[in-house]
C-alpha cells in the first residue's frame, strides 16, 4: 500500500462524504467494475440458467433466491480491483481473479456467504477480504472500525430499494414497449406472476448496474475510517513536508557556489568606509537648527474635532433603586439556575404534546378507516360480536337463563311464534358470542345456514337448517309451525347449547 500513489485526496471525511467518494470512484471506472461483476456472476448464471431450462418453470423463484444468496461473491472481484486502483495499481482482469482465487479459502467462502445476511455487508467485506482476518480477530477489528455501521445499514437498505425500483422500471418499460395486441395480461400479472423470467433477468441486470456503486461506497467508508484512526492524512502531510525540506536542502547545496560568487562580486564593488565624509559637530548643529526652523518644524496648528462626551455614570441614589437592582440581579441568578430545569420541563411538555398529537392522529385514522369501511362496505378485519342484529338483542344477558325451558313454556301457551323467535335469537346469540361465528347483519337466512354449516359441526348445521326452515316458513309464508317440530327443535337446542350442554 503506497500512500503516495493514492488517487483520491486523503483527508478525514464524514461517512456520507465517503459514500460520495465511493460513488465517484465507481463512476470513474464503472464499465470495468461492471464487467468484473458480470464475469464473477456469469459461471453461476450460466449453470443455473442451464438447470432451469431442464427443470420445470416453477424453479424460477428458487433460482432468484439462490442468486440473491450468492450476491457477495460477485462483489469480491470489484473490491479487489478497486482496492488496488485506489493506490494507483491498475490490475488486469485475469490477475484480479487470480488474486481473488488465492485469497478465498473454504472457510472464507462460508464467511462471505454469511455476510449476505448482514445489513452492514458493504463495510465488513473489505475487512474480511482485504485484511484477511478471521474469527475473533475480525470481530475485534470490525468492532473497532464499525462506528458508522448504521450508515452501512442505510446504504444496504437504499441499495435494495434502488435495485427493486430499477428492476420494476425495466419491467414497466418492457410492458410499455409491447404492442397493444400482444398485451394479453394486465400490468400486475405481467410483473408479479410467479414464474416470471423477465422479472428475474431485470433483477439480475439491476443488481449488476448497482453493484459497483454499492461496493465502492462500502470500500470508501472503510478507507475513510482507517484514515481517521490511523491518521493517514497526517502521515501523508509529514511525508510531503519532508520531501519539501529535502528538496530545499538539495537546492541550497546545488546553488551554494553560485551564491558565494554573487556575494563576492556584489560586495567587492561597494565604496570603502573611508570614502564617506564625516561632518564637523558645529556644522552638524547648524544643519540641525536649520532643519528645525524649516517649514516642516516649528509650526503650531490648532485643529478642532467633535468628540462625544462620555455619559456620567450615576450611582443609584435611592435605597429602593438599590433594592431593585439587587432584586434583578438575584432574579437573573435564579433564572440561570432554573434554566436547565425549565428546559427539561419544556422537553417533557414537548414529548407530551407529541404523544397527544400521535394519539389524536391514530384516533382520527381509525375513525376515518371506519368511515371508509362504512362507505365502501369493506369487511372488518376483526369481528366483534354485535349486540343487536336483525333487530334482535343478542346479548346473553338479554336472554332468559334457560332458553329451552322458556321456549317450552311459550309453546305450552300456544305462543309458537314467540317461542321460535326466542329459539332463533338464542341460537344466534350462542353462535356469535360463544363461538365467535362471523355473522353479519346483511346475511340472509341461507347465508347464515351456510356459515354455520361451514364453521360448526354437522349436528349444529343440521339443527340450524331445520330451525331456519321453520322460521322462514313462519316469517315469510305466514304458516304456523307444527308444535311437535318446535318441541323437537327445543330438545335439540338443549343438547347443543342448553344448560346441560
Partner 1 sequence: MTDKASENGMTFSEGVQKIKALEQVIRKNVVGQDRVVREMVIGLLGAGHILIEGIPGLGKTLLARTVAKAAGSHFNRIQFTPDLMPSDITGHGMFDMQDNQFKIRKGPIFTHFLLADEINRAPAKTQAALLEAMQEQQVTIEGKSLPLAHPFLVMATQNPIEQEGTYPLPQAQTDRFMFKIFIDYPDDEDEQRIVNYATRNSIGDGLDSSKVTTILTPAEVSALQKMLTRMTIDEQIVAYIVKIIRTTRKWNGIDYGAGPRGAINLLRAARGSALLNERGFVTPDDVKAVALPVLRHRIKLSADMEIEGYNADQVLLNLLYSVEAPRM
- For the segment 142-181, give every residue that binds partner 1 (CB under 8 A): none
39 binds partner 1 (CB under 8 A): no
Burial 382-392 (b: 16+ CB within 10 A, else e): eeebbeebeee
Q: Which residue stretch of 57-65, 141-149, 294-302, 384-392 sits at the interface with partner 1 (rule: CB under 8 A)?
A: 384-392
271 binds partner 1 (CB under 8 A): no
End-to-end alpha carbon distance in the chain: 84
Evaluate whether 419 touches 470 at the Cβ level (below 8 Å). Answer: no
Q: Which residue has the cell 452501512?
A: 152
Per CB under 8 A, the list member of 177, 267, 377, 500 interacting with partner 1 is 377
CB of 54 to partner 1, least distance (A): 29
Cell of 53: 431450462
The helix-helix angle for 106-114 and 121-130 (nearest 10°) equals 170
Sequence-distant (≥ 6) Cβ neighbours of residue 198 within 8 angstroms? 171, 174
273 binds partner 1 (CB under 8 A): no
Query: Three-class SS of residue 6?
Result: coil
Per CB under 8 A, the list member of 276, 315, 477, 484 interacting with partner 1 is 477
Per CB under 8 A, the list member of 11, 183, 378, 413 interacting with partner 1 is 378
| Residues 275, 287: Cα–Cα separation, whole Å | 21
- For the segment 424-463, give every residue that binds partner 1 (CB under 8 A): 424, 440-447
Q: Closest CB to partner 1 among 103 and 440?
A: 440
CB of 469 to partner 1, least distance (A): 11
Evaluate whether 500 touches 494 at the Cβ level (below 8 Å). Answer: yes
313 binds partner 1 (CB under 8 A): no
Q: Closest CB to partner 1 among 29 and 424?
A: 424
Strand runs (DSSP E) across 258-377, as ranges? none
183 binds partner 1 (CB under 8 A): no
Q: Which residue stretch of 167-175, 192-200, 323-331, 387-395 sits at the interface with partner 1 (rule: CB under 8 A)?
A: 387-395
Q: Closest CB to partner 1 among 340 and 377?
A: 377
Nearest residue to 207 (alpha-carbon basis) of 117, 119, 111, 75: 75
CB of 472 to partner 1, least distance (A): 6
Per CB under 8 A, the list member of 158, 390, 433, 465 interacting with partner 1 is 390
Sequence-distant (≥ 6) Cβ neighbours of residue 123 within 8 angstroms? 145, 146, 148, 149, 152, 218, 221, 222
CB of 56 to partner 1, least distance (A): 21
Residues touching partner 1, count (CB under 8 A): 25
Burial of 433 by CB count in 10 Å (0-12 exposed, 13-18 middle, 19+ buried)? middle
Q: Closest CB to partner 1 among 235 and 447?
A: 447
Per CB under 8 A, the list member of 475, 485, 487, 496 interacting with partner 1 is 475
Per CB under 8 A, the list member of 379, 382, 384, 397 interacting with partner 1 is 379
CB of 355 to partner 1, least distance (A): 34
Per CB under 8 A, the list member of 56, 194, 271, 374 interacting with partner 1 is 374
Q: What angle do CA 128, 134, 135 make, to 5 degrees?
A: 125
Q: What are phi and psi of 387, to 5 degrees?
A: -80, -40
Q: Which residues pair with 392 in a beta bridge?
A: 389
Q: Which residues bind partner 1 (CB under 8 A)?
A: 374-379, 390-392, 421, 424, 440-447, 472-473, 475-478
Amino acid at each position: 500500500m503506497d500512500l503516495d500513489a493514492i488517487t483520491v485526496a486523503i483527508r478525514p471525511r464524514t461517512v456520507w462524504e465517503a459514500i460520495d467518494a465511493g460513488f465517484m470512484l465507481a463512476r470513474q471506472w464503472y464499465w470495468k467494475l461492471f464487467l468484473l461483476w458480470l464475469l464473477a456472476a456469469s459461471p453461476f448464471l450460466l449453470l443455473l440458467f442451464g438447470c432451469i431450462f431442464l427443470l420445470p418453470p416453477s424453479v424460477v423463484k428458487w433460482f432468484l433466491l439462490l442468486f440473491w444468496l450468492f450476491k457477495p461473491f460477485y462483489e469480491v472481484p470489484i473490491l479487489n480491483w478497486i482496492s488496488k486502483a485506489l493506490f494507483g495499481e491498475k490490475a488486469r482482469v485475469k490477475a484480479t481473479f487470480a488474486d481473488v482465487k488465492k485469497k478465498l479459502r473454504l472457510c472464507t467462502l462460508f464467511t462471505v456467504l454469511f455476510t449476505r445476511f448482514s445489513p452492514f455487508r458493504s463495510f465488513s467485506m473489505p475487512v474480511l477480504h482485504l485484511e484477511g482476518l478471521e474469527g475473533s480477530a475480525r470481530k475485534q477489528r470490525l468492532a473497532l472500525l464499525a462506528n458508522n455501521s448504521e450508515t452501512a445499514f442505510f446504504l444496504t437498505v437504499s441499495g435494495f430499494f434502488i435495485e427493486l425500483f430499477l428492476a420494476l422500471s425495466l419491467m414497466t418499460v418492457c410492458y410499455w414497449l409491447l404492442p397493444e395486441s400482444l398485451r394479453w395480461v394486465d400490468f400486475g400479472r405481467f410483473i408479479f406472476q410467479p414464474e416470471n423470467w423477465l422479472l428475474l433477468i431485470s433483477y439480475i441486470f439491476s443488481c449488476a448496474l448497482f453493484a459497483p456503486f454499492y461496493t465502492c461506497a462500502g470500500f470508501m467508508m472503510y478507507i475513510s475510517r482507517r484514515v481517521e484512526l490511523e491518521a493517514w492524512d497526517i502521515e501523508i502531510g509529514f511525508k510531503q513536508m519532508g520531501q519539501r525540506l529535502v528538496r530545499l536542502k538539495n537546492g541550497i547545496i546545488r546553488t551554494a557556489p553560485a551564491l558565494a560568487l554573487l556575494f563576492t562580486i556584489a560586495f567587492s564593488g561597494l565604496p570603502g568606509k573611508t570614502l564617506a565624509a564625516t561632518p564637523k559637530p558645529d556644522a552638524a548643529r547648524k544643519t540641525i537648527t536649520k532643519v528645525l526652523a524649516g517649514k516642516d518644524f516649528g509650526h503650531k496648528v490648532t485643529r478642532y474635532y467633535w468628540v462625544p462626551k462620555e455619559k456620567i455614570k450615576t450611582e443609584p441614589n435611592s435605597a429602593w433603586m438599590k433594592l431593585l437592582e439587587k432584586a434583578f440581579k438575584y432574579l437573573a441568578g435564579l433564572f440561570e439556575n432554573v434554566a436547565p430545569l425549565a428546559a427539561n420541563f419544556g422537553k417533557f411538555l414537548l414529548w407530551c404534546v407529541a404523544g397527544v398529537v400521535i394519539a389524536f392522529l391514530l384516533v382520527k385514522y381509525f375513525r376515518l378507516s371506519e368511515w371508509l369501511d362504512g362507505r365502501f362496505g369493506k369487511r372488518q378485519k376483526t369481528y366483534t360480536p354485535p349486540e343487536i342484529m336483525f333487530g334482535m338483542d343478542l346479548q346473553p344477558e338479554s336472554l332468559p337463563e334457560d332458553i329451552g325451558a322458556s321456549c317450552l313454556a311459550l309453546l305450552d301457551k300456544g305462543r309458537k311464534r314467540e317461542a321460535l323467535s326466542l329459539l332463533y335469537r338464542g341460537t344466534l346469540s350462542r353462535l356469535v358470542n360463544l363461538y365467535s361465528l362471523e355473522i353479519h347483519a346483511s346475511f340472509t337466512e341461507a347465508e347464515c345456514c351456510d356459515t354455520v354449516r361451514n364453521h360448526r359441526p354437522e349436528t349444529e348445521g343440521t339443527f340450524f337448517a331445520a330451525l331456519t326452515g321453520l322460521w322462514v316458513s313462519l316469517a315469510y309464508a305466514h304458516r304456523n309451525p307444527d308444535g311437535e317440530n318446535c318441541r323437537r327443535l327445543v330438545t335439540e337446542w338443549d343438547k347443543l347449547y342448553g344448560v346441560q350442554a
